[in-house]
Chains A and B, each alone.
Chain A
Amino acid sequence: MTRVRLIHNRVALLLAVVTVAAALALPFLAFAPNRLLSGKAIALSGVAGAGGNAAALLPFALLLAGPFLRASRAVNVLYVGAGVLAAAGLVWLAGQHAALLAATASPAARTSFGAGFWMMEAAALLAVLDGVRRLGLGPAGRVAVGALVAALIGGQFAAGHLDQLSIMKEYANQRDVFAGAVLRHAALVAAALAPTLLIGVPLGIAAQRSPAVGRLVFPVLNVVQTIPSIALFGLLLAPLSALAAAFPGLGIGGVGPVPAVIALTLYSLLPIARNTAAGLAGVPEPVREAARGIGMTPRQVFWRVEAPLALPVFLSGLRITLVQAVGLAAVAALIGAGGLGAIMFQGLFANALDLVLLGAVPVILLAVAADAALKLASALALSRLGRTAA
């Protein structure tokens, strides 16, 4: 019994339905006379009217055809390519229309993304994600596709094509503040990483060698991990203000970057210590025996055998730590630590929604970039181990 199958890919079908519904029913952009008023909705049909603009939507044709194509490597490659171009094309279209509107409007007017834009962009990126998965790309391939999307959208940004979009107008107003905030954000994470590694790695090694240490340390770190960041910042306020009052010369206070770094370190210790211990525990005992057997000293066994074998698990702990710290550093803006969170909360408190995006979107991008970089490093460490073993 053979039946002709019309639908070959139901994931693509779902994405196509979402895309069409968002394109028809939701506003693509919103146009407001100034940054505080809510905007007038602009549908996609009103944006794509002109010939050149409609061309930017062409990749969507392939995404909509996706459900009906029989799976093959070529189809998957095309599908990923169409998704990448569609994601970049939507941004281009938004920038193009914003420029058109800006030509006849007052400089205070704002064009911002609507719900339809976000849904279509999400559908295009999910199509990329699904296609990449079907292609079976490894970490390097995934990072390459991600970098391609980033380059196509970043290129438009660098070329000034997006300048008339509201989020970019906020950026233009805050250019110096923004650069400083990104640096401060990275500095907060880096400043917490140093004590985390100095304390967490020895703690992990000790916990693996002596179970008693682990029984003592891990429950405490686990409880710290469950306490919400904003509460931990608050609880540190009292002892640190007291310390600052007692030793005014120390430069410590209840608010500012110092308590933020202390709190970030407390949160970061668990993943680092736990994964250091887990990585070392995963080294097979016969391997240690063999290393001792060929006359290695305990120091050599650690540095030349145990550490390299534990590295991939350790790097995965470092990845969790970094991703978590990027988010926590954003919350730390509430206690005056600065960083991208300061822009985000400033926007929230002032009801300036594009300022919120200007703070929050880079936080997400930083977290995703840290995740990708360390996944790549883990994969490299693993493949090096594989080569040595082979």
Chain B
Amino acid sequence: MLIINCPYCGEREQEEFSCGGEAHIERPKNPPDLNDDQWADYLFLRQNIKGLQYERWNHSFGCRQWFNVARNTATDEILAVYKMGEKPPALESNNPITPCGEPAIGSGNFSTSKK
């Protein structure tokens, strides 16, 4: 279970929060002008990144405020927390070295280096 640093309350257990998925997807201001594909893009299509993802969280069993979190979805490390409306911080991307980034052998977190 993660610890999330709510920008309004401080560090709390993940159980107090709920995730609202990818952040910075703005609801279009001109829906009637969009075709079905464009509407589907807003409504359903997601980057679903492996690595650094900016996402929305809500302190649902706390202050009930929404805010943004930058988290590495490959390791679950939280790299930054920032409020709604703020620009996402530029972060050193620590994306996996290969697209999947898992050890090529076995299935533990085994270090492939012999040394």
Q: Do A and B come from one complex?
A: no
Residues of B bordering A, CB below 8 Å: none
Residues of A bordering B, CB below 8 Å: none
